[in-house]
Amino acid sequence: MGAIIRIQREVAEELGKRALQETKLECCGLLAGSGGVVTYVFPAENVASEPAKSYEIAPKEIFRMMREFRAAGLEFLGIYHSHPDGKNEPSTRDIELAYYSEETYFILSPRRDAAKPVRAFSIRDGRVVELEIQIV
């Protein structure tokens, strides 16, 4: 494990629920907060051509959410998506498309028996480091 990412309990629970609601397609969205603590979930529409195998958030929607963050005085802290197969670790595609190298990537599992239904990763220059999630 590498560094620590702090997240409010309610946000962690909401992420777990989102993965359980959408078990056939990858759900996705952005995360924001302040003081380095994730406090808000901003769900997005998955516009990928194969949403059961990957995720994509429309640039227009990302820009809209970024404006909302700034207007509310929030920091952009992460991106989340689920893996319907339950294996919540970065895929080769996730690593290739990790354009926001300063943000945390949260990967969710819809499996009720998952040891860690929500996992967090730093993905920089093709290198993946799992982060410890601290519930606050």
d(Cα 136, Cα 131) in Å, to the nearest integer?
Answer: 15
Q: Which residues pair with 107 in a beta bridge?
A: 81, 119
Q: At a CB cut-off of 8 Å and minimum separation 6, what does 2 contact?
A: 122, 129, 130, 131, 132
pLDDT at 9: 94
Rg (CA), the chain: 14
pLDDT at 102: 85
Note the pTM of the prediction, 2 decimals: 0.93
**E strand or H helix at 32:** strand 28-34
Which numeric CATH code is attached to 4-135? 3.40.140.10
- pLDDT tens for 62-99 read 999 999 999 999 999 999 999 988 689 999 999 998 98
pLDDT at 2: 55
What are the extents of the domains in the chain?
4-135
Mean of all residue pLDDT scores within the chain: 92
Which residue numbers in the chain have pLDDT < 50? 1
pLDDT at 111: 85
127-135/75-82 β-pairing: unpaired
